[in-house]
């Protein structure tokens, strides 16, 4: 479904979006090691490999995002946004740690996770390394993760039949991505190039993020499948497309939300999904004051 875009004008003040969600770092260590669970997603090897392939992106990605946002901390004077940057840094730091542990756990199922991570590092090394473009890329990936999180939280049946601890880590990650979804974008609005230049940089970064997320996740998934004894057959390719576009069909369901990013007056909280955060957040442990 398309997002509920605000009817307010494109010069919407940031203060009108402040306080949408508390950013709470939940220091949880998930128990993902042990028996072989290469088909943890309801016995579906393709769906499992897609989720595992996405997880491989996070330790490198989250570190990139933290650095991109924190670089501009001294340009921020708003105490609330400064506090949100701290919360963002804490959450993303723990996400990086837990997905590193997740990725170490799935190594036992087959697949050279370290080589797949290096593929992402090599990709990043080819990008424009200006601080502004790094932040624009971060905003783009944060929108991607926010809409995927929204879909997971909005559809309780998404992980029906999945191993409980894998379902738990993904729902935890989704809650926190939803909570901090506007932090990078709010910093961007302070430091971005003015006028058309800023808009073109932001949308160019989204095109890059879209290509990289889809290509890397696809490559990771099929590399993992091959290592787990599942060939890249036409049947498995069809199953991957079915997963993304039909059932659960996250890419199809979130197309409107994705395209909203290209609107000149876009802001992440134009789609207010606080009710989804509220429905799930009490399932997780108490917050901490700093990431480990």
Q: What is the mean pLDDT of residues 239-260?
A: 95
CB 274 within 8 A of CB 21: yes
Give 84's contacts (C-beta < 8 A, 6+ positions apart).
Answer: 23, 180, 183, 186
pLDDT band at 285 (very low <50, low <70, confident <90, very high): low
Question: For the segment 68-86, what is each residue's pLDDT rounded down to a tens digit?
Answer: 999 999 999 999 999 999 9
Between CA 170 and CA 125 the distance in angstroms is 28
| Mean of pLDDT over the chain | 91
pLDDT band at 291 (very low <50, low <70, confident <90, very high): very low
Burial of 282 (0-12, 13-18, 19+ CB in 10 A): exposed
Between CA 148 and CA 160 the distance in angstroms is 17
Q: What is the mean pLDDT of residues 82-97?
A: 97
Between CA 230 and CA 218 the distance in angstroms is 14
Query: pLDDT at position 16, please?
Result: 61
Between CA 280 and CA 176 the distance in angstroms is 11
CB 54 within 8 A of CB 250: no
Question: Global pTM?
Answer: 0.91
pLDDT above 90 as % of the chain: 83
Give 143's contacts (C-beta < 8 A, 6+ positions apart).
Answer: 181, 185, 206, 258, 261, 268
Query: pLDDT at position 290, please?
Result: 39
Question: For the segment 140-178, what is each residue's pLDDT rounded down to a tens digit?
Answer: 999 999 999 999 999 989 999 999 999 999 999 999 999
Question: For the segment 202-231, what is each residue's pLDDT rounded down to a tens digit?
Answer: 999 999 999 999 999 999 999 999 999 998
Query: pLDDT at position 289, please?
Result: 41
Between the CA atoms of 122, 124, 126 and 131, what dihedral angle is there, to the nearest 10 degrees? -150
Phi-psi region of 22 (alpha: psi -120 to 50; beta: other; left: phi over 0): beta
Count of helix runs (H) and strand runs (E) in the chain: 12, 0
Question: For the segment 171-198, what is each residue's pLDDT rounded down to a tens digit?
Answer: 999 999 999 999 999 999 999 999 999 9
CB 262 within 8 A of CB 141: no
Flag whether pLDDT at 101 surpasses 80: yes
Q: What is the mean pLDDT of residues 90-111?
A: 95
Listed range (48-52, 128-132, 191-195, 279-283) with the worst mean pLDDT: 279-283
pLDDT band at 9 (very low <50, low <70, confident <90, very high): very low
Q: What fold characterizes domain 42-283?
A: Ribonucleotide Reductase, subunit A (1.10.620)
Listed range (34-38, 97-101, 264-268) with the worst mean pLDDT: 34-38
Per DSSP, the three-state class of 41 is strand
Alpha-helical regions (H) of 129-233: 131-154, 164-179, 183-191, 195-227
Residue given tokens 């499948």 in the structure block: 225
The residues pairing with 191 across neighbouring beta strands, listed in sequence order, are none
Phi, psi of 26 (to 5 degrees): -105, 110
Phi, psi of 21 (to 5 degrees): -150, 145
Size (the chain), residues: 292
Between CA 292 and CA 287 the distance in angstroms is 12
Give 134's contacts (C-beta < 8 A, 6+ positions apart).
Answer: 64, 67, 68, 71, 127, 128
Between CA 209 and CA 142 the distance in angstroms is 10
Query: pLDDT at position 36, please?
Result: 82
């Amino acid at each position: 479904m398309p997002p509920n875009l605000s009817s307010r004008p494109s010069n919407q003040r940031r203060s009108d979006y402040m306080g949408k969600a508390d950013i709470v770092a939940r220091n949880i260590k998930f128990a993902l090691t042990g028996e072989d669970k290469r088909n943890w997603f309801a016995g579906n090897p393709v769906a499992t490999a897609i989720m595992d392939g996405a997880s491989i992106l996070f330790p490198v990605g989250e570190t990139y995002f933290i650095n991109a946002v924190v670089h501009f901390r001294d340009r921020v004077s708003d105490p609330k946004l400064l506090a949100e940057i701290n919360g963002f840094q804490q959450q993303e730091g723990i996400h990086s740690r837990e997905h590193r542990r997740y990725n170490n756990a799935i190594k036992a199922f087959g697949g050279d996770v370290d080589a797949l991570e290096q593929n992402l590092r090599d990709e990043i090394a080819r990008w424009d390394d200006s601080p502004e473009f790094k932040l624009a890329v971060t905003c783009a990936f944060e929108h991607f993760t926010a809409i995927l999180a929204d879909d997971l939280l909005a559809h309780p049946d998404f992980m029906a039949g999945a191993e409980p601890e894998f379902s738990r880590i993904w729902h935890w990650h989704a809650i926190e991505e939803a909570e901090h979804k506007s932090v990078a974008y709010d910093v961007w609005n302070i430091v971005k190039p003015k006028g058309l230049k800023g808009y073109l940089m932001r949308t160019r970064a989204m095109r890059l993020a879209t290509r990289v997320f889809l290509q890397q996740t696809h490559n990771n998934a099929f590399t993992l499948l091959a290592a787990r004894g599942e060939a890249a057959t036409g049947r498995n390719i069809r199953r991957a497309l079915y997963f993304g576009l039909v059932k659960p069909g996250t890419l199809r369901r979130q197309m409107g939300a994705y395209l909203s990013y290209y609107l000149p007056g876009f802001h992440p909280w134009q789609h207010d999904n606080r009710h989804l955060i509220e429905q799930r957040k009490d399932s997780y442990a108490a917050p901490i004051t700093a990431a480990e």
